Amino acid sequence: MTHRLKPSQYAILICVMLTASVGDTLLSHGMKQVGPVDLHHLSLLWHALFNPYVDIGIVLLIGFFACYMTALSFADLTFVMPATAFGYVVIALLSRFWLHEHLSLSRWLGILLITSAVGFVANSPSRTEHPSLDVMDSATGR
Amino acid sequence: MLPEPAPMTAPATTIIRSWSCILFVSALAISGECLIAAAMRRLGDLDRLRTGTGLRSYLGPIRAVLSSPIFLIGALCMALNFFAMLFTLSVVDLSLAAPAIGSLTYVGNAIAAKLFLHENVDRRRWLATSFLAVGVVLVSR
């Protein structure tokens, strides 16, 4: 039994890709404005909550969390993993085509590797069935 | 007082501190994600838990998720991971922390999913995991 995903389930995986990367970017931008936090200045973490970039980042990350959990309710953790990693590709491509930053050859290679990892997994069954069913699946060549 | 000149190589204590931060953040991420995956897997497809129409129909799934103890422990791990990450980024260079935590988390997740969640991590998924680990290091450096 292969597990084909519904279009709405693919949409959730795409939300996982986008919200995590954009949220992390906003969060890192906000934390740069807040400044370095160390053990003796932990109160700065409280201060960080009043930075708008940190706030929007947190909202997006909450959205990511909801999408991520929904995805885990219908797919394996190892199936969803490439979708979360694709966020790195989104960040790299945003910095290339939006911020017009230069991407080194090794970064393009990384984008290629992550994208092919998504390709490997995207067409495979999304959910591990009971072990005995897995044996039957492999016996029928799937 | 003049600042001391920067040493050519980082002192051992700095290296140990950086890597314990990285390992700690990764371990929290792996345990959080596995616990949440286990909780969500136990709940199954969330659409089945929806009753009624409109936004109100999402109350069922939300209530089911929030009352799962495995989920709550996992969420606690993720919350600790979030603050440990904020702390780590202030003491470890982003160019080391991001690739190291990223790839350690992906490899660790695959191993933990195989061991604890009994997921069918076949050759295709191991290949994808190793591509992810290398790709994340290359992209986030």
Burial class (CB in 10 A: 0-12, 13-18, 19+), B102: buried
ipTM summary value: 0.80
Q: Is residue A136 within 8 angstroms of chain B, CB to CB?
A: no
CA A91 to chain CA centroid, Å, is: 11
B129, with CB counted inside 10 A (0-12, 13-18, 19+), is buried
Mean pLDDT computed over every residue of chain A: 81
Distance, in Å, from the CA atom of B4 to the CA atom of B7, rounded to the nearest integer, reads 9
Q: Between B45, B117, B128, which is nearest A121 by CB?
A: B128
Contact between A81 and B132 using a beta-carbon 8 Å cutoff: yes
pTM for this predicted structure: 0.78
pLDDT at position B128 is 93
Report the residue from B65, B83, B106 with minimal CB separation from A85. Answer: B106
Nearest to A31 among B89, B131, B140 (CB): B89
CB contact under 8 A, A45 and B43: no
Q: Mutation test of the interface with chain B: which of A16, A69, A116, choosing the one with the most B Cβ atoms within 10 A?
A: A69
Q: Which of A39, A106, A121 sits opposite B138 (nearest CB)?
A: A106
- Bin B122: left if φ > 0, else alpha if -120 < ψ < 50, else beta: beta
pLDDT of the residue at A138: 47
* Residue A31 binned pLDDT confidence (cut-offs 50, 70, 90): confident
Backbone φ, ψ for residue B67 (5° rounding): -95, 10
Q: How far apart are CA A83 and CA A90, in angstroms?
A: 11
Please tell me which residue of chain B has the smallest CA distance to A133. B120
Question: Residue B1: which pLDDT band, with cuts at 50, 70 and 90?
Answer: low
Decide if A117 and B41 are in contact by the 8 Å CB cutoff.
Answer: no
Predicted confidence (pLDDT) per residue in B62-118, tens digit: 888 899 999 999 999 999 998 898 889 888 888 889 899 999 999 999 999 999 999
A84-139, pLDDT tens digit by residue?
888 889 888 887 887 778 889 999 999 999 999 998 888 788 887 755 444 444 44
CB pairs under 8 A between A and B: 131
For residue B43, the chain A residues in CB contact (below 8 A) are 73
Look at the alpha carbons of A77, A78, A82, A85 in this order and tell me if their dihedral is positive or negative. Answer: positive
Distance CA A46, CA A41 (A): 10
CB contact under 8 A, B34 and A106: no
